[in-house]
Structure formats: C-alpha cells, structure tokens
C-alpha cells in the first residue's frame, strides 16, 4: 500500500516537478502512486506538462547526442540528465539519431 503525501511532501513534489522531474520519479521518491502525485499536484494548482511532451528541463539534447554517438547508453544518459530513458530516446529520435538496438554492446563477453 502506498503512503499518502503530506502537505510538505506536495510542496517538495511540486518543486521537483517544476524543476523537470517526471511523475514516476517523484512517485518513487515518496513511495506513492503516480496517480496520487498527479492528483495532488493538480489540486495544488501546479501547471502540468503534456504527457510525452517536450524533454525535461535538464536534458541537453545536443550534449546527449554527442555522448550517445560516443557510446553512452540510454540508461546512463537518462540518469545523468535526470529523466527517463524514453525521454532521451524520444529527444534523440526527434533530432534524427538512429538508436542502437538495446542489449549488450558489440564486442561484449
């Protein structure tokens, strides 16, 4: 059972969301459902981003493109930029990057 967000939690969640963190990451941080985070943020008057919209604030697509071309994987890029793998993949595709197949790197054991 997930816990309920307190008023203080909602304030912190709102600040995280405004800073570009995703709903899933916020829910995981507070140990609650994504639905609860959505409802609480809306009730608090937070302007919500469109689902699957523009990349989060912290994602520098040009830098991600360079790092990906140098061999970085989506998971590591997402962790470094503070967003999801899907956000990184979507942003890279939008600028014309052909994504590598997922799984082991070439030449791995």
Spell out a b/e string for 82-98, using b for 16 or more CB atoms within 10 Å of the CB, else e: bbbeebbbbbbeeeebe
Q: Quick one: pLDDT at residue 106?
A: 55
pLDDT in tens, 3-54: 899 999 999 999 998 888 888 889 999 999 999 999 999 999 998 876 665 5
Q: Which tens digits make up the pLDDT trace of 49-88?
A: 766 655 455 788 899 999 999 999 999 998 888 888 888 9
* Predicted TM-score of the model (pTM): 0.50
Domain-by-domain residue ranges, the chain?
7-43, 50-98
Question: 28 phi and psi, to 5 degrees?
Answer: -65, -40
- Cβ neighbours of residue 60 closer than 8 Å, sequence gap 6 or more: 81
Kindly give, in sequence order, each residue whose CB lies less than 8 Å from that of residue 80, ignoring residues fewer than 6 positions away: 67
């Amino acid at each position: 059972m997930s816990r309920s967000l307190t008023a203080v939690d909602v304030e912190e969640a709102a600040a995280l969301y405004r800073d570009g963190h995703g709903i899933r990451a916020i829910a995981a941080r507070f140990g609650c459902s994504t639905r609860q985070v959505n409802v609480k943020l809306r009730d608090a008057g937070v302007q919500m981003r469109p689902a699957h919209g523009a990349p989060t604030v912290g994602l520098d697509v040009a830098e991600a493109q360079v790092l990906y071309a140098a061999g970085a994987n989506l998971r590591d890029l997402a962790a470094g930029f503070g967003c999801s793998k899907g956000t990184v993949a979507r942003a890279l595709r939008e600028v014309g990057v052909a994504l590598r197949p997922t799984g082991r790197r070439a030449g791995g054991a």
